[in-house]
Amino acid sequence: MTSRDDTHSKLIGYILWIFGFMGAHRFYFGRPISGTIYFFTLGLLFVGWIVDLFLIPGMDRNAELRFTAGPLNYNVAWALLTFLGIFGVHRFYMGKWLSGILYLFTGGLFLVGIIYDYWTLNDQLTLINSRAARA
């Protein structure tokens, strides 16, 4: 696999694992249901969080197979969502200008939009990257 085919990074996964008791790494690797469970249970009372330290390489492999690489970088989009999502910067990055402006003036649609994007960002990026590959 070349670096052009990479969609996710183990390093980013491990950095997010530090906050894994909140489910951040699970959302990143495309596991929103377990990410939500981790968020509400503090990483399954920290036990699941410790176990995930050893599961991250497998989660990374699955993400590489599941999501499509392309002009939009998953790591950049996730960093923008995580740190600037309330301002819609990740939406601007994806070329979604109207919703980016809406996020900017509504605090990420009153944070509900941020939660939606945590659930769907990988799929949104795959759709955009797939369209770019066909063009």
104 and 56 inside one domain: no
Neighbours of 63 (CB within 10 A): 21
Rounded to 5 degrees, φ, ψ at 123 are -70, -40
pLDDT of residue 20: 72
For residue 98, give the DSSP letter. H
Q: Which domain holds residue 100?
A: 71-135
What is the predicted pLDDT for the residue at 108?
95
Residues 36 and 90 in one domain: no
Report the phi/psi class of residue 73: left, alpha or beta, with left for phi > 0 and alpha for psi in -120 to 50. Answer: beta
Total length of the chain: 135
pLDDT in tens, the chain (135 residues): 344 478 999 999 999 999 777 899 999 999 999 999 999 999 999 999 999 999 999 999 999 999 999 999 999 999 999 999 999 999 999 999 999 999 999 999 999 999 999 999 999 999 999 999 987
- Domain end, chosen from 40, 66, 92, is at 66
